[in-house]
Amino acid sequence: MLLNQFLILAAFLFCTGAYGVLARKHAVLVLMSIELMLAGVNLNLVAFGAFHNSELGQVFALFVLTIAAAEVGIGLAIVLLIYRNLHSADLDDVDTMKG
């Protein structure tokens, strides 16, 4: 298998995730899109690791997974609090910092 097949797939995942972060209204969907971006990155890392016969890629991907998990926890907590205060999970409504 060629390397750039994996990279293309990872890029595809990443861009899909980026699109989702930028364009979705619902906060949970944005979080899901972030997960997608992270997945793409993980795939990239593992692909490079496998290609160079190094376990360093997988180690790094493990780190990323851990942080993703923690981040999701906190992210959901924030979304929950936003819903409690604004009675809506729509990100367009969170504009208190508007200048």
Partner 1 sequence: MFFLDYAWLVPLIPALSFVVILLFGKRMPRHGSEIGIVAVGASFVLSCGAAIRWIMRVQDAKSADAPVLPVLHHVTWFQNGGVRLTAGIQIDGLAVMMMFVVTIISLLVHIYSLEYMRGDRRYTYFYAALSLFTASMLLLVVADNTLQLLIGWELVGVCSFMLIGHWWEEKPNSDAALKAFLTTRTGDIGLLTGVIMTFFVVERATGVGSFNIIALNAAASNPGNRVGHTLILWCALALLLAIMGKSGQFPLHTWLPDAMAGPTPVSALIHAATMVVAGVYLGARVYPVFFHGLSIADGGINPMAAVGGITVLIGAALAFVQDDIKKVLAYSTISQLGYMVMALGVGAWTAAVFHLFTHAFFKADLFLGAGSVSHSGSHHSFDMKKDMGGLRKYMPQTYATFVIGSLALAGIFPLAGFWSKDEILANAGFDNYKLFLVIGLIGAFMTAAYMTRCVYLTFHGEYRGAHDPHAIGPADEAEHDPIDTEESIELDVHLHPPHESNRLITVPLWVLSFFAVFAGFLNFPHFSKFERWFQPRFPAEFAGLPTLAHPAAFNAILAAISVLIAGSAIGIVWAYYQGKLPQGLSERNAVAGAGKRFLVNKYYLDYLYENIIVAGIKGPIAAGVYWFNQNVIDNVLNYTGRGARALGQFTYDYVDQKGVDGLVNEIGTITGDSGGEVRKLQTGRLQFYALMLVVAVVIFAGALWIFA
Angular region, 54: left φ>0, alpha ψ -120 to 50, beta rest: beta
99 binds partner 1 (CB under 8 A): yes
How far apart are CB 18 and partner 1 at their closest, in Å?
A: 6
Closer Cβ to partner 1, 1 or 22, answer by number: 22
Residues 18-37 that bind partner 1 (CB under 8 A): 18, 21-23, 30
Which residue in 33, 42, 30 sits closest to 15, CA to CA? 33
Q: Tokens representing 98? A: 């508007």
- Is there binding between residue 98 and partner 1 (CB under 8 A)? yes
Q: Phi/psi at 25 (nearest 5 deg)? A: -85, -40
d(CA 17, CA 35): 7
Would you call 60 helix, strand, or coil by DSSP? Answer: helix
Closer of 2 and 97 to partner 1 (Cβ) = 97
Task: CB nearer to partner 1: give 21 or 28.
Answer: 21
Residues within the interface to partner 1 (CB under 8 A): 18, 21-23, 30, 91-92, 94-99
